[in-house]
Chain A
């Protein structure tokens, strides 16, 4: 059972270009979460998606960032017109169900995509 897969692992973009980050959740998981980590910091929530639906995007900047999780295929985090401040590690996590409730399940994290904007 393959874990959460992310690609590319490393991505270099010039300012103004677009970055596309992909995440394939674990088999059977329909909940996907994206987090951003700056150096020496913890992970910050960006967006929570279920198949074809955005459940919570409260952590995602209103401009230039978008996310989708189509019926078929991986979840995509898209950053348009990247700036140097977008340089960070972006992690995707998946879970078989939502996190609410006392018996909530942990999330399974991918290895991350390290975005460098030059």
Chain B
């Protein structure tokens, strides 16, 4: 079964708007990671948030983690057409990454 479940499954916004994606997971974690995948490409690591952190920033990315609700959110501010991609959250289970099905983000120019 999937450890991470992202929602929404698909999101379409205009350039300049903010995009928020959510991820829920089932078991306890040490950290949660977000990855981006451009169409037909491999995954690129975006940000890692540890279980004792509540919020983390990296450029236009803001990640929150609520361990009581077993959920995380990824916010992309001032989106650009180049942000169009699929975004996956992943948690570590027994030395391997477990991914959700992802959110497909489309940023329209």
Chain A residues engaging chain B, CB cutoff 8 angstroms: 4, 33, 35, 40-45, 48, 55-56, 58-59, 91, 93, 98-104, 106-112, 114
Contact = CB atoms under 8 A, between A and B. Distances in A.
Contacts, number: 69
Given A42-B88, A56-B96, A99-B92, A104 B30 contact: yes
Contacts of B48: 106
Contacts of A35: 97, 99
A interface, over-half SS: loop
A41 B37 CA distance: 12
A91 B40 CA distance: 11
A69 to B, nearest CB: 15
B36 to A, nearest CB: 11
A80 to B, nearest CB: 24
B43 to A, nearest CB: 4
Contacts of A102: 30-31, 50-52
A99 B97 CA distance: 8
A106 B45 contact: yes
A42 B100 contact: yes
Interface residues of B, number: 27
Given A33-B96, A42-B2, A56-B95, A91 B31 contact: no
B86 to A, nearest CB: 9
B109 interface: no
A56 B92 CA distance: 13
B96 A43 contact: no
B42 interface: yes
7 contacts: A33-B97, A43-B99, A56-B95, A93-B43, A93-B97, A98-B95, A100-B30
A91 to B, nearest CB: 6
A104 B92 CA distance: 9
A93 B43 CA distance: 9
B45 A55 contact: no
A56 B94 contact: yes
B96 to A, nearest CB: 4
